Each structure stands twice: as structure tokens, then as C-alpha cells.
Amino acid sequence: MVKWHLTGYRRWISSPTGSVLLLVLLALVGDYSSRGVFAASPLPDQSDVLYHAASVSSIAATRDVDSTYFLPNTTVPTHYSISLRTDIHNDVRTFSAITRIYLTVLAPTDLIVMHVQELNIASVALYRIASTGGNEIWIDSPTYMIDIVREHVTFRTAGMLPLGNYALEVAYTGSMRNYQSGYLVSRYRNEANEWRSVGTTHFQATLARRVFPCYDEPALKATFDLKITHHRAYTAIANMPLAGTEIDPNNREYLVSRFERTPLMSTYLLAFAVTDFKTLRNGQHEIVVRSNAQDDAMYALTVGSTILERLGSYLELSYYDYMPKMTSIAVPDRGTGAMENWGLVTYGEPSLLYNPAVNTYRNRKRVTTVIAHEYAHQWFGDLVSPRSWDFIWLSEGFATLYEYLATRLAEPGDEYWELFSVEVVQRAFLQDANEQIRPINWQAATQAEVSSLFDIIAYQKAGSVLNMFRNVLGESEWRQGLTQYLTDRGYDAATEENLALHLQRAVEGKDILPPTANVRDLLASWTDAPGFPVLNVYRLYRDGMMILSQERFLEQSVLPTGHVWHIPFNYAYESSATFYDLTTAGWLSSRAAKLETPVPDDEWVVFNKQQTGYYRVNYDRRNWDLLAQALMANRNAIHRANRAQLIDDAFNLARADLLDMAVVLRLMRYLRAERDYAPWYAADKVLTYLYDKVRATEHEHAFLVYVDELIEEVYSTLSVDTVGQGESTLYKYLRQLITGWACRIGYKDCLERSRAALRKEFLPGQGESSVAVHPDVRAVVYCYGLQQDSAEEFQLIFQRLMASRNQAERTDLIDALGCARNADSITSLLATIVFSAAPDTTFVYLSEERNRVFQAIYSGGRAPTLALMNVLSDPVSVQQLLAIVGEGTITNAVMNIAQRTNGAEEMARLEMMLTAMNGILPPGTLNNARDTAAARPQWFTTAEGLIVGEFLEQYNLP
């Protein structure tokens, strides 16, 4: 699963038809609302929530769990037969169903316990199934009791049930929600601009129980038969192919769709959808999509088929040996996540649809990697499921690794594998450096505990650790072990022990691991302990001798710990720059050890080649100086992945007071000659962090001069506003990063080109044709093109937003609008949020887009942020917005404004806003914002702040 940016102030009045607000709005949309382009947008339910990307669970190092949340082991399921009726075509948000659960009694009992959530049970019947066959025998109508906290339903029979096979039939009704929970509703506008409702499912992790009573734990696998009764204008799809369709004998306007029986699988993987969508086919690979987005699905249809085939070849287990078809469905207005249901993968539209005419290279990358992630799950998670949610990393960690690695198998020219270290490993480091972080293996019992496991530890950290072992064991042995693991545990569940067993067998007798080592112990040192180590390399500069030591790395320090990681290491040095040989040179399996090496004392050394190991590396000061000198002399002497590693490690070591920040800033001076993206990605984090600290202070000018020194040469090789033939993916990433900084620090050429390109598209000169800005340069051109007097262009971009049916494009347009410097434009944009909730409105926002508007504004620079603060300083305006977006969105905006406040003038302006919000937001929220802003100047009194200030003094040019 893939979890799922001052010319005056007009006071808003409480009535949405107030003349002042209308004047502000008309400045934005002109007579656009009278064009009759849009149908009315339904007001979202208050239960709508915003789903964020995978975050981190910050919890204590150990904990006990409440085992009463687990089902007793007296009965187990063998098969489910589900018959469900839905009227989603009429936007009816309830359903009725009859589910028959076939089960085996393992110990005499009068209680059958399973899971249920918010189902209204109408009747229950229990049948005995004779071991010799024959008809089922009714034996009881059990009573039942529901524990709403544990979400258990306990059926009590009249007498003790002996060992044997039974069938429990339950009739019930249930409800649909507007978010990722059970059987859910989504809405979209069709070609006739009519709102249509469709139904899809999302059962991970503990939500199958919202649709049918079940044993909702991943190891309790069963087979499934499914029948869905629906209106004949709609079609139903599920994990398995359609077995047949009959007319409903009770209503000829309805059809009954029957599906083939599934293989053994976990309840959370069952899926179905009832829609009026179209199906595109490429052999056994299908894409289901709304009819007015079929062209946008063609890329996924092709690339998805290739990824599925290449993964099967890589693992020597064809997907179609286990499942007869693969269907992917694009669900409207469901965010950007995806869910790996076996044979029926569901996606938010931006994660499956890609149109090169309007979508960017980043959208293409997202679609490709999300498909790869979900298709990797077809083996890791679906064919072999985690024994319990404690081992969810066996599903999500593998999927994270192969969402990048599978693209190298299927589309190597896209270079997405080059992004693994910076997007996965380095991202995991940031979260895993928390003292309260959990280990990879972590127990969970309650629904909240289970949900919290879907975090950066299960995804990015686990994926990084698995990749480390892939390199340690060798690609051939790794693949051999995985194939045997999947074959042995197929249609079943697994633990870390099962994985380690088959990897160990693959390396036996091959001299890959130390004689006394085994995969289980090596792997456990990374999965059973929280955090990760820093490998300290202290060179003695005496015949190549070095002392290696390890400590747990934390974001602000190191932490003494009794735990020892088994750290695989390798290294390259100046006269032996073997960065492509990733063979393990040795293991540090103690707190410290002395190492003999052939490294000459006057040459640099780099440990952890291509950053395949999940650890940071620190060096003595002399080696850091040698590395800085080497990069200045010839950056290509060190592999690009290690150049990124050096910057990222140095910066975070400095943040933890383990290295002088001046070392980082001197090291980065070589970037003026850097042309690869990964090192710039790492540097961008450093520059963004420092700019946030020094903006609007006495050090800002010197910092901008420093940035200018770094980017000037690189910028001269790039084009702000055009895209050339044959540009690589990484070149596009680099261009957006560098041109974004160039415009941000005021490069005249960058700003003028952005402004001119924006005008050529929206306001071409007389007799000139419109020239569309290429999607791959749109982010910079639109954002910085709007930072001058551009009210007309702003209005036209907004109109494009309202007209677009492509969710990814809409997000990009919202981000661009948030950059506008014109205060009236920002005020008008916020006014459209209020008007979007009115009946028969022409301002249509998807469920998450109102929140995105706020994010775009406070991320768009100081001018739009000031305009937002003006609006939030008016109690009437705040109350109107609160009623629509909720307190969470307003609180996030306030805290983000506080986190961006620098200097006395900005602090005074913040205080005015917070004072105006008294009685609207809780006092604790307002005081937190004050404390956050008040603490920011204290950075300049820290050693880090003083060192940065001293370093920047040399850039204070007259």
C-alpha cells in the first residue's frame, strides 16, 4: 500500500453573497461563473479526512499489547460466501448482504468469535457440515454480542460444538463512507457534467470487518466466493474474473454478477468495485477508469503490463501462475494512495493516470513507481502475507525496494533506481534518528496500534535494510532465496524467520558470510533494535591503520546503547576508486575494532560505497578535508551516490554536534561544478534548512551570495522555460531544483524568462499564437511568473484549474496559484473555498484540494503568506473557513506560518493574527504558535548558528 504548497485587504462578511466578497471574487474569475461549465459540487461529509504520506510512529522502545484484541484460536475460517446488494448508482450509501462463513472448530466451544464493525445484524443461522458430505444441517440460531471497542462479535450457541466443520450465515446491513474505510463512495463528473457516484473498497488493515463478519487477521486465510447485485447501468469487478451475470429475479433493472473463487488469501486483500467505468485491456492486464479519462490510462496499461511480466521473470514465479488476471482501477477523488488487493489494485487517480500533455515528469515517475510498488505486493503481501501485523515490513519493505528496482527491470531509461538512496535511505534516516522510534519488528493489537505500523519504518527503513542485505548476499543468491521463500510460503503467511531461513540456504557453502555468522542473527541486529548506527572511521595515518567504532545516531546527538549492529562495510580510496565493486570487505560486529587497510596515508577514503549500507559514516577531520579537496579537484573521482552521501551525512552529523557545520559548507563549495542530481538533492536540504534560518535576518544577503556561487555555473547550462529532445529524467530533476533556486534568490534571467513564458501562454501579444509552457518546466515558470503584476494570468490559471479533470494537473495548478504576490488574488482564492460549499456552486474542489490551497499559500513565499495572515486576522473569515475545511487545516496553517516567522517585524505581524484568533482556536494552539516563533531567534545563539554566521561573513560583499 502506498499511503494514502500587500496591496490592501478586503474584509470578508458572513454572507457568501456579500457584495465585497463578490467584488474580490469577480476580480479572479470575471464572468466565468456564468459560462455554465460545471455541475454543482456536493458538500463533503464532515467525516472526510486528509490522508498524508507514510509518517513515523514515535513510541517507546518496548511495550506490552492487549492480547484480548486477538481472536481466540478455537475456530478458524476456511471459506467465505458473500452476497452483497448495492444501489450506489443512486448515491445510496448503505448496502445489504448475506455472508456465509465456513469454519472449522479446533477445540470444543460454544463461542464463535470474529470481527465486525458497524454492521447491523438481522439474522444468524449455524449449520453443521458432515465430513462425509451431504446436505448442511441447521443446528442453531446463535445469539450474539458485539464488543465495539475490540470490534469482536461473539456468537453463542445453545450447546458445545464438537470438533468439525460448520457454516455460520449472517444477514446484515452496512454503511459506506467518504474515505478509505471498507466499502466507500467516490464521486466524479462525467462527460455530460453530471455527478456520478461509484463504490470501491479498501480493507487494509482492519476494515474488511466493515463489510462482512470475518476473521480479520492476516494469517487467517480463506477462499472467497462473491456475488454483487447492482443496477444494470453499472458493472462490478473483483479480485477474480467474472464467472457469470444473471438478471435479478426480484428486479429486472438489476444484475447479479458472480465471480470465480479466489485462492487462499487474507481478508484485507478482498476487493470489489461497482462503477460505470470503462475497461482497457492489454492481454490479461486491465485498467478500469472513468470514460472521460481513458487516454490518461494508456501509459499505465503499457508500463504496468511490462512491470508485472519483468517481476515474474526476476522472481522466476509468473504472476499468472497464481492469478488469472490483473486489474487496476483509478478511483476519483481518493487522494494519491494505492492498495495492493490481489488481482484488483485500487489507486487514487494521480497514481495511475498520466497524460504527457498536462502532467509532468514527476507525475510519470509517481505512476511508474506506485504501480511497481503495488505489483511487487502481488508476491510480497498477497501470495505470502505477514503472519501478523508485527511483520508488515515483510510486505511494505519489499514493495518499497521493488517500486524502484522493478522500474530498472522494466524501464531502465527512466533512471528511477538512481533516486533510491536519496528518496528512501536518506528519508528513513531523518525519521529513524528519533530516540523514541520503534524497531522494525513491533507488536500491535488495537486498531490504532496496527494503523500506526504503516510508517516510514515499515516502508523506507525496511526497504533500505533489505537492499543492504541484497548487496551483502549478492544478487544471484538474493533472488534464489526469495524464490524459495515465496514458493515455500505461497498461499500462507510468514515471519522474519521464514525469510532468513531461505536466504541462509541460498548462501550456504559459498563463503559469502563470516564462518560463524548466519542471516538470522545478522538481520535481527537491524530489525529487533530501534534506530541505526553511525560508523566512525578514525584514521591513524600510520600504514593504513584505522579504528572503526559504532554508536546509535540521533538527530541531536549519539545515544549510548548496549546494542551492537552487525555492520557490513566496504570502502574506496583515491588510488583504488572501486565504487562499482559492492562486495563486503568486512563486518563490524563489536563496539570498536582496529582495521588494517592498504589506504595510503595521504589519500582520502570513503566507506559505504554507493550508500548501500543503512548507516551514516563520520571521519576524522583530516579525512573530511581530503574529501573536500578531492571534490574540488575532480568531483567524478567519487561516485555520485557517495557525493550525495557525503553531503547528507556531513550535514546531519553537524546537526547532531558531531561535526563542524563549516565543514559542510566548505564541502559543498565544489557544487559549482556538480551536474548530477543526487548530490544536489542532498544539498537542497541543507540550503533549505539554512535559508529558513537566515531569511529576513542580517545574514540573508551573505547566504544568497553563497548560493549564487554554488548555482551560477550549473544554471548557465540549463533552460528555464524550454524542454529539449532526449532529456533524461535526472536532468529534469536537476533543472527544476537549480532554476527554482535561481528564481528564489532573484536571478533576473530566471524571473524574466518565467514571466515571458507565462505571458506567451496566457496573454500572447497581438497577432501571436499561444505557446503552452511544457509541463516539465511549469512548476518554476508558473510560480515565479506569478510573482509580478500578473492578476490576469492568475485568473486564467484558476479557470484552467476549475476546468481540469486531471487531478495531478489540478494539484500543480493549485501550487502555482499559491505563489502569487498579489494580495487580492490570494484573498480571492481563499474566497472560492467558501463559495465552493454553496449550493449550485461553480467552484469545484476535490476533497483534499481545499487543504492543498492553504499549503500552497504558506509554502509560496512571504507575500502570499502575508495575504493569508490578513484573512486569518478577520474573525468572520476564519469562522467561514473553519466551517468548511475544519480546525485541523486552520491549525496547520497557523503553525506553518509560525515556523516561517523571522525577525521582530514578522513576529509583531504574527502576534496581531494570533490575537485576532482568540476565542476561535484553542488557547493552547495559539500559545504553541507563539512559542514556536519566539524560539526561532535562539538558533543564532547556538554553536551551529554562530558557526554558520561566521562562515557567511566572508560573503558579506560591499
Catalytic residues: 374
Give the amino acid at 252.
Answer: R
- Give long-range contacts, CB 8 A cutoff, 24+ apart: 626-631: 626/602, 627/667, 628/663, 628/666, 628/667, 628/669, 628/670, 629/604, 630/574, 630/604, 631/667, 631/670
**Is it true that the peptide bond before 205 is cis, omega within 30 degrees of 0?**
yes
Angle, CA of 905, 909 and 913, to the nearest 5°: 165
- Strand pairing class (326-331; 285-289): parallel
| 679 close to 647: Cβ distance less than 8 angstroms | yes
In which residue are the cell numbers 484553542 written? 922
Per-residue 3-state assignment (H helix, E strand, C coil) for 717-748: CCCCCCCCCCCCHHHHHHHHHHHHHHHHCCCH
> In terms of C-beta density within 10 A (0-12 exposed, 13-18 middle, 19 or more buried), how is residue 538 classed?
middle
CA atoms lying within 13 Å on the CB side of residue 657: 8
Q: Strand 164-175 vs strand 326-331: parallel, antiparallel, or unpaired?
A: unpaired
Is residue 699 annotated as involved in ligand binding?
A: no
- Residue 245's SS3 state is strand
Based on C-alpha coordinates, what's the Rg of the chain?
Answer: 30
| 89 assigned binding-site residue | no
Nearest Cα to 182, choosing from 211, 153, 218? 211
Question: Degrees (nearest 5) of the Cα angle 124, 125, 126?
Answer: 130
DSSP 749-811: HHHHHHHHHHHHHHSPPTTPPP-PPPGGGHHHHHHHHTTSS-HHHHHHHHHHHHH---HHHHH
Q: What is the 3-state secondary structure (H, E, C) of 66-82?
A: CHHHCCCCCEEEEEEEE
The answer to whether residues 776 and 739 touch, using CB atoms and an 8 Å cutoff, is no
Task: Copy the grid coordinates of residue 90.
Answer: 443512486
State whether the Cα torsion 827-833-834-838 is positive or negative: positive
Q: Which H or E element spans position 489?
A: helix 475-489
Report residue 262 as a C-alpha cell.
479466489
Phi, psi of 547 (to 5 degrees): -115, 120
- Whole-angstrom Cα distance, residue 910 to residue 916? 10
Phi/psi of residue 415, nearest 5 degrees: 65, 20
Residue 349's nearest CA partner among 188, 207, 459 is: 188
Task: Say whether 127 sits in a helix, a strand or coil.
Answer: strand
Q: What residue type is 310 in one-letter code?
A: R
Q: What is the dihedral of CA 135, 140, 143, 146, to 10 degrees?
A: -20
Query: Does 230 show up as a binding residue in the annotation?
Result: no
User: What ranges make up the beta strands (E) of 181-260?
Assistant: 182-189, 195-202, 223-231, 235-238, 242-247, 254-259
Instruction: Name the 3-class secondary structure at 643.
Output: helix
C-beta separation of 81 from 461 below 8 A: no
Report which DSSP code applies to 921: B
Spatial distance between the Cα atoms of 273 and 289, rounded to a whole number of angstroms: 11
Classify residue 777 as left (phi > 0), alpha (psi -120 to 50) or beta. Answer: alpha
Write the DSSP string, 132-201. T----EEEE--EEEEETTTTEEEEEEEEEEPSEEEEEEEEEEEE-BSSSSEEEEEEEE-TTS-EEEEEEE
57: which 3 cell numbers?
510512529
Binding residues: 373, 377, 396
Binding residues for Zn(2+): 373, 377, 396
